[in-house]
Structure 1
Amino acid sequence: MTALVTTITETLRYRGAIGQWSWVLHRVTGLGVVLFLTLHVIDTSWAVFYPDLYVKAIAVYQTPLFTIGEFVLVACVIYHAFNGIRIIIFDYRPGWWKYQARAALLVLG
């Protein structure tokens, strides 16, 4: 737990440029996607093992709050995908590192 707190405080304290925020957003969006996939696997298994609970979960997922969450999830997936592609490109083309800040801003939109 101490390492997690230290990581969070040091990340927030560091005053790096766009690269730092790109790194943080990549991790946060990745965690969001993993959280969604975990919940998705669990609630889909309810269709077989707990059908009544599955019906209740689907009713909850149709609320406006979850609709907003789905849009956030789509944004997370899109950002994570494009930023991942950017990282892969710069890993294989070290000569292009001078364009990283511009590419990070392009990924952010």
Structure 2
Amino acid sequence: MRIIDNIQYYTTTDVAKEVGKSQQTIWLWDKYSNELEARNEPRLIPVPLWHNNSRYYTAEQVEEIKEFSNNIKRGDLARFNREKWGKRGKEIKKRMAEKNKIKDVDKWRQENRFKMLKEGLI
């Protein structure tokens, strides 16, 4: 916590502890919010005050972040995370596609096997 211009601000670490997420998660939400803002879309979390290369949030902003944290669902930022991971994200995307293909083939095999059992061919 820090007081700047007679206003109490919370560091990203303070916010992370209050919200129950990691500091990196708060940074990620802010980075994604910046990208959304650049596309003229609403931010996920409020704009922090930048001071000495650190992010600071007011108590009201911390409450907004806490509310966002409670409402976000697993996977909501998956696409953004994959893009940020670059090569690793592409590999994950490829593996997921291969898994889905295998699932489809397995499902098809199981359905055909069931049909053959019903028809007495096996």
Q: TM-score, normalised by structure 1?
A: 0.36
The structure carrying a bigger strand percent of its residues is: 2
Q: Which has the larger radius of gyration?
A: 2
Q: Relative contact order (alpha carbons < 8 A, sep ≥ 6): 1 or 2 greater?
A: 1
The structure carrying a bigger helix percent of its residues is: 1
Q: TM-score, normalised by structure 2?
A: 0.32
